Amino acid sequence: MRATLPDEIRHVFELQRQASRAQPDAPLTLRRERLLRLSKLLDEHGPALAAAVQADFGMRSPRLTEVADLFVLRAQLAHTLRHLARWSRRKRVRTPLFLQPAGAWIERQPLGVVGVISPWNYPVQLALGPVIGALAAGNRVLLKPSELTPHTAAQLATLVAQFFAPDEFCVVQGDAATAALVASLPFDHLVFTGSTAVGRKVAQAAAANLTPTTLELGGKSPAIIDADCDLADAALKIAHGKLLNAGQTCIAPDYVLLPRGSEAAFADAYRAAVARLFPYFEGNPDYAAIISGRHLARLRTMLQQAQTLGAQVQVLQPQPGTPAPPPQSLGDGVGRQMAPVLVFGATQGMQLLQEEIFGPVLPVLSYERLDEAIAHVNAGPRPLALYWFGRSEALRDDLLRRTCSGGVAVNDTLLHIVHDNLPFGGIGDSGWGAYHGEAGFLRFCHQKAVLVQSRWALGGLLYPPYGARFDRVMALLRRIL
């Protein structure tokens, strides 16, 4: 990966800024054409992008990248292209009686230049997802992918340069210092996806330029199991949500809350679910590697601390008799394919319950009554996602009223993020702002208020000098409000 020089980054940003000021709006035909170019990029070069992701992780099946990165983007593009004309249309609004016969509407106008700083865990989806909304709204985009996925970043830079002019959409590459430089530029909007700690720094840098931000962070997303749920079904869906990408997912279930006394039954159900999804771990291309040795060491340190402090750590083993994979299928990340782990008896003093885990480790906590589970969730920062498994609509609705999270899935995990008509975003420590679908389009628009006065306007009745006529007009207006 060749790092983009600071002067090059500033030059591209200035190109985009000047272009956006020279053309404050972008015709619908141009917006559609840009989205179609992005769609063509994915269609023609999806395998190359999947190969780059595999090279970065050392073990991550191209099929996993297809479903978790490329398919999600294709669905977003199709939905956006289908609805773009309606979203872009001038929105007329009713005019209050006291302002009539004036007319009014809202113009949905591009912001200008949108910056995107994307993470490593889904390095194609989370790089290009915000770009779809920004281009749809008529903006120029400068993207800085994560330095932890250098092959993917380089592939994105090469491909984007083939399909877009630099003043439309450009990718810059580099380390954390490059990201800090990008965050300091006076964008019209800045999107960051990553950790809460880094998100705070990005928000501070953007604030210096009064740049509005969308922060997609993470946090401790709980999965709450009610006593009447289908435990086998819940365990399978939690295992899928937890182990997709080896737990390196911002909305992965971070921990489970379940009725006291059902711990052993859940452990058995979870083991069976994991065996169904991943009969073996080491050498399994469908089971992603932890992104780096540093991240793997962090997970092991958290487990060691929990065990030292009295937690029961259960490392799940592969199915007996599973054949070894052929040597040529092994990537250099095979040594970082961490076996799934269940942890019982975790306490608040442990890192496992203080930090987002971001790996295949699942603490299981017990509760006596739903009130206790809700209190536990509400005692911490608001999560990016919350998952509820149960049959009672009354208990479900009670939980929804009494908790606050970025999004919710009931009797499943993860899937709310791919619903085209649902916004995706966090709240509090899990972020702010939302994108996807129309919510994302509007996030990257300036909704400009327009009032057109009529020649028959009577506003002059409220001009000074004030007197008896003014009093009579105000009395009439009060009656008709």
**Which CATH homologous superfamily contains domain 222-425?**
Aldehyde Dehydrogenase; Chain A, domain 2 (3.40.309.10)
Count of helices and strands (H, E) across the chain: 16, 18
pLDDT of 329 above 70? no
Q: Based on the number of CB atoms within 10 Å of its own CB, is 448 exposed (0-12), middle (13-18) or buried (19 or more)?
A: exposed
β-pair partners for 315: 341
- Here the tokens at position 407 are 């999004």
β-pair partners for 191: 116, 214
* CATH 3.40.309.10, the chain: domain bounds: 222-425
Going by C-beta distance under 8 Å and a sequence separation of 6 or more, which residues neighbour residue 406?
A: 382, 383, 384, 385, 424, 425, 426, 427, 430, 431, 434
43-47, 319-323, 426-430: segment of lowest average pLDDT: 319-323
More confident residue, 106 or 473: 106
Residue type, 306: A
| Catalytic residue flag (residue 170) | no
- Residues of the chain with pLDDT > 70: what percent? 98
Farthest-apart Cα atoms in the chain, separation: 96
* CATH 3.40.605.10, the chain: domain bounds: 6-217+434-446
Answer yes or no: are the C-beta atoms of 400 and 287 closer than 8 Å.
no
CA distances from 117 to 7, 212, 254, 324, 457 (A): 18, 14, 24, 39, 49
Task: Give dist(CA 186, CA 280) in Å, integer.
Answer: 49
Per-residue model confidence as pLDDT tens digits over 111-142: 999 999 999 999 999 999 999 999 999 999 99
Answer yes or no: are the C-beta atoms of 412 and 387 closer than 8 Å.
yes
> Taking all residues of the chain, what is their mean pLDDT, rounded to a whole number?
95
- Here the tokens at position 234 are 């819940």
One DSSP character per residue, 112-165 reads: SEEEEE--SSSTTHHHHHHHHHHHHTT-EEEEE--TTSHHHHHHHHHHHHHHS-
pLDDT of 412 above 60? yes
Selecting among 170, 250, 356, 445, the annotated active-site residue is 250
Q: What is the mean pLDDT of residues 135-152?
A: 98
Task: Give dist(CA 214, CA 433) in Å, integer.
Answer: 5
In CATH terms, the fold of domain 6-217+434-446 is Aldehyde Dehydrogenase; Chain A, domain 1 (3.40.605)
Answer yes or no: are the C-beta atoms of 153 and 228 closer than 8 Å.
no
User: How many other CB atoms are found less than 10 A from the CB of residue 435?
Assistant: 23
Selecting among 168, 170, 216, 445, the annotated active-site residue is 216
Element (H, E) at 239: helix 231-243
| Helix, coil or strand: residue 367 | strand
**Residue 194 DSSP code:** S
Cα radius of gyration rounded to whole Å, the chain: 26
Q: What is the mean pLDDT of residues 219-247?
A: 97
β-pair partners for 105: 92, 450
- Name residue, tokens 């003014």: 470
User: How many other CB atoms are found less than 10 A from the CB of residue 184?
Assistant: 16
- Residues of the chain with pLDDT > 90: what percent? 90
Residue 319's pLDDT is 77
| Catalytic residue flag (residue 216) | yes
Answer yes or no: are the C-beta atoms of 316 and 287 closer than 8 Å.
no
Per-residue model confidence as pLDDT tens digits over 5-40: 999 999 999 999 999 999 999 999 999 999 999 999
Answer yes or no: are the C-beta atoms of 270 and 236 closer than 8 Å.
no
